[in-house]
Copies of this chain bind each other. A is one copy, B any other.
Amino acid sequence: MKIILLKENLKTGLLIMEKVASSNLSLPILRNVLIKTNTKVQLTTTDLEMAITHFISGKIEESGSITIPVTTLSEIANNLKSEKIVLEKKNKNLFLKTDNYEALLQGINEEEFPIIPKIKNKDEFIEINSNLLANSLESVITAASFSEVRPEISGVLFSFEPGVIKLVATDSFRLAEKTINQEQLKINFEKGFKTIIPLKTVDALIRVIKQQETERVKIYFDSNQVLFCINDTEIISRLIGGNFPDYQQIIPKDLKTKIIIKNQELIDAIKISGAFIPRSNEIKITTNKDHKFLEIFSQDSSLGENRYRVPAEIEGSDRVISFNWRYLIDGLRSIKEEELFLGISEETKPTLIKAVKSPSFFYILMPLKSS
């Protein structure tokens, strides 16, 4: 193998690779990037659950392949000043050369690199605006957290229904759902289906979309894999088996208290109340319908107590509810709108939070048992 690359192209490619290459000590090959010549130069890393492949242009003088530790190669690419880099395989090592720099890097042969799976059926796909997808996923993953015990919630539910996609995530204390409508989508599937995509894949997808300047993402599925094509980058990942919780039943419906409040003001109040309680997470929210405000209260046995009043329009019964302030603020921050709607059916049941103006996203949060 002998190839000549623009340093900037290699740098961009390695930036995409870096986060996937794990520091798996028992399998050093997973810390390596596979460099392989095709019509373009292909870079691939994998953690066995997902793989990212990125194609860059380059002058291929001799075809071939090699695998090299990705962090070493990116450190070099990030710090070199030269525009061009020559990569040449010498035995099983990589010889890297610029006008004033050279390195001999110990490689591992391609044969030891895991086989990257493929999706055969490329007739059925979904096409979607890439920023819309990244922003939608970002808004829901705030409600998710990795769980060894419950793999089915360690991912994002992609639910394809006629004309819409719903993205849903939960950690069982809170849940977020985002709906993407038909006009923003091209769905080329015959019938609806549901599948769960691992959080790590979702993170990688968001990151790649933000690194690349691209308008559209194409998504392909088979029964246990998903493939995202973003410009010159492909992410292939296993899917999570099992059933995502049936969350329809916990969405509060008979709302007895309805609150309209400025999002940023509520965030500021919760931040200050949260900072007051280093040893706890509990803040108490009290509605005051007559005086048109929410009171946010928190206390710490050794620091003292504090209360913040935030102006609000309140309809229905008065309430006193306790929340984990971190979970509450996560939800508010994932709603990038000025005015917020909070709906409460009962004090022991989840509270519904969404933007007043945009109905495509909601966040529901279980209250704490008041202490």
Contacts and interface: CB of A to CB of B under 8 A. Distances in A.
A310 interface: yes
A214 interface: no
Contacts of A268: 79, 81
A362 to B, nearest CB: 27
A80 interface: yes
Which interface class (under 10, 10 to 19, 20 to 34, 35 or more) fits A?
20 to 34
Given A81-B268, A101-B308, A75 B276 contact: yes
B275 A106 contact: no
B308 A104 contact: no
Interface string A259-284: 00000010011011001100000000
Nearest to A101: B308
A100 B302 CA distance: 23
Contact of A106 (B102, B303, B309): B303
A268 B269 CA distance: 46
A269 B276 CA distance: 48
A105 to B, nearest CB: 4
Given A272-B80, A275-B72, A101 B303 contact: no
Given A101-B272, A106-B304, 17 more contacts: A69-B303, A72-B275, A75-B276, A79-B268, A79-B272, A79-B275, A80-B272, A93-B304, A100-B308, A100-B310, A101-B306, A101-B307, A102-B307, A103-B306, A103-B307, A104-B306, A106-B303
